[in-house]
Amino acid sequence: MKISIILGTRPEIIKLSPIIRECEKLSLDYFIIHSGQHYTFNIDEVFFEQLKLPMPKYNLKVGSGTHAEQTAKILLGIEKVLQKEGPNIVLVEGDTNTVLASALAASKLGIKIGHVEAGLRSYDRQMPEEINRILTDHCSDLLFAPTEKSRKILIHEGIQENKIFVTGNTIVDAIYQNYKKIKEKSRTIDCPGISKNNYFLATVHRQENVDNKEKFRGIIRGLNLIAAKFGLQIIYPIHPRSLKQMKLFNIEKNNLHLIEPLDYFSFLELEKNARLILTDSGGVQEEACILKVPCVTLRNNTERPETLEAGSNILAGTNPHNILLRTEYMLKKSREWINPFGDGNAGERIINIVQKNDESRF
């Protein structure tokens, strides 16, 4: 069996790293395609270096563009590579334009698709990611659901039960595999005056937030209210596009400490040592839960409801006063919740399933 692993963004590199490691360990016939959806060093290449992953065999370097432009470029590039290589199965992870384009290309060519982190739903069709994950799930042959809740969502949507496998989430594997390395090697971050548990960490990058002046302004005001209330720094590793929108909307950062996007190890260390995390990222909601750090989600919905049920996370929306109130609430909570995303062996399970479900099964 020949496996194609396709990725294009920082979260995909991280969450597919345990699967790549498993392929390496078993000496499987596989290759990596990188779409180039993320293409700066700090958001991309450094992750391969730090995680000690083999560099992709192919890099399409599609770069930025509208959703249609980016998806179309990836679709064209992926199709050519898949026709040349002829893999038996394509593995994709998550909900990006890379994931949708890869699934469409493979489906049209009659190549089987395995979707890692299947069955997540925010039920908000205004999110481009929601459309991507729904369409990918419904054209996949193997669906690797991270939790029982996501398995039930897929069944409710009419997907055959024998295609769905609850594996846990590979983000747990990635944290367990890499956090030891961080503890062994002290790292310094350019944030003067911070120490463990005396700062807040913020990430805001989603299109529905940073492209909306009212929402983005509300979030930044909320963060500034928190900084003023608690007298602590709020560290915000800001994506270039978010910084561009902040300048476009003339939003003042005031008490926020803006820094460049970080490599994986440095960001993981910042997460682990934060008093609380404020984010609109799904992956950061998961990481906060696993690392036992309270989280406030700057959205009105989440495709990670398990974090709400566990008690590690709360929804705040983009109203500044709600953001402050939810932060005060989460700071009073105990950190003794149970991680709902698995035991750190999801990558091994996924490759096991792929091997068992070979051409005879398909």
Per-residue pLDDT of 270-290, as tens digits, reads 999 999 999 999 999 999 999
How many C-beta atoms lie closer than 10 Å to residue 101's C-beta?
A: 29
Is 156 marked active-site? no
Positive or negative: CA dihedral 226, 227, 230, 233 = positive
Distance CA 49, CA 162 (A): 37
289 DSSP 8-state letter: H
- Going from the C-alpha of 306 to that of each of 233, 338, 340, the distances in angstroms are 29, 10, 7
User: Taking Cα atoms as reference points, which of 229, 236, 284 lies closest to residue 256?
Assistant: 236
Distance CA 278, CA 47 (A): 23
User: Taking Cα atoms as reference points, which of 174, 302, 151, 203 lies closest to residue 314?
Assistant: 302
Distance CA 233, CA 235 (A): 6
Using N-to-C axis directions, what is the helix angle for 264-273 and 282-291, rounded to 10°? 60
Distance CA 360, CA 271 (A): 44
Q: What are phi and psi of 297, to 5 degrees?
A: -95, 125
Helical (H) or strand (E) element with 143? strand 142-145
Residue 119 identity (one-letter amino acid): G
For the chain, which domains are there?
A: 2-169+343-356 (3.40.50.2000), 187-331 (3.40.50.2000)
pLDDT tens track for 59-106:
998 888 888 999 999 999 999 999 999 999 999 999 999 999 999 999
3-state secondary structure of 48: helix
CB of 6 within 8 A of CB of 102? yes
Positive or negative: CA dihedral 26, 27, 29, 33 = positive
Distance CA 160, CA 164 (A): 7
CB of 93 within 8 A of CB of 128? no
Distance CA 290, CA 60 (A): 33
CB of 151 within 8 A of CB of 174? no
Catalytic residue among 205, 239, 257, 321: 205
> Residues 263, 267, 272, CA angle at the centre, nearest 5°?
155
One pLDDT digit (tens) per residue for the chain, 362 residues? 999 999 999 899 999 999 999 999 999 999 999 998 866 655 567 888 889 999 999 999 888 888 899 999 999 999 999 999 999 999 999 999 999 999 999 999 999 999 999 999 999 998 899 999 999 999 999 999 999 999 999 999 999 999 999 999 999 999 999 877 766 555 556 566 678 899 999 999 999 999 999 999 999 999 999 999 999 999 999 988 899 999 999 999 888 999 998 888 989 999 999 999 999 999 999 999 999 999 999 999 999 999 999 999 999 999 999 999 999 999 999 999 999 999 999 999 999 999 998 755 55
Residue 143 structure tokens: 């669906």
337 DSSP 8-state letter: P
- Going from the C-alpha of 80 to that of each of 73, 84, 336, the distances in angstroms are 11, 6, 49
> Residues 38, 244, 301, CA angle at the centre, nearest 5°?
70
CB of 43 within 8 A of CB of 242? no
Instruction: Specify whether the backbone of 159 is left (phi greater than 0), alpha (psi in -120 to 50) or beta.
Output: beta
pLDDT tens track for 106-125:
999 999 999 999 999 999 99
Instruction: Give the distance between the most distant pair of CA atoms in the chain.
Output: 62
* DSSP count for the chain of H helices, then E strands: 15, 13
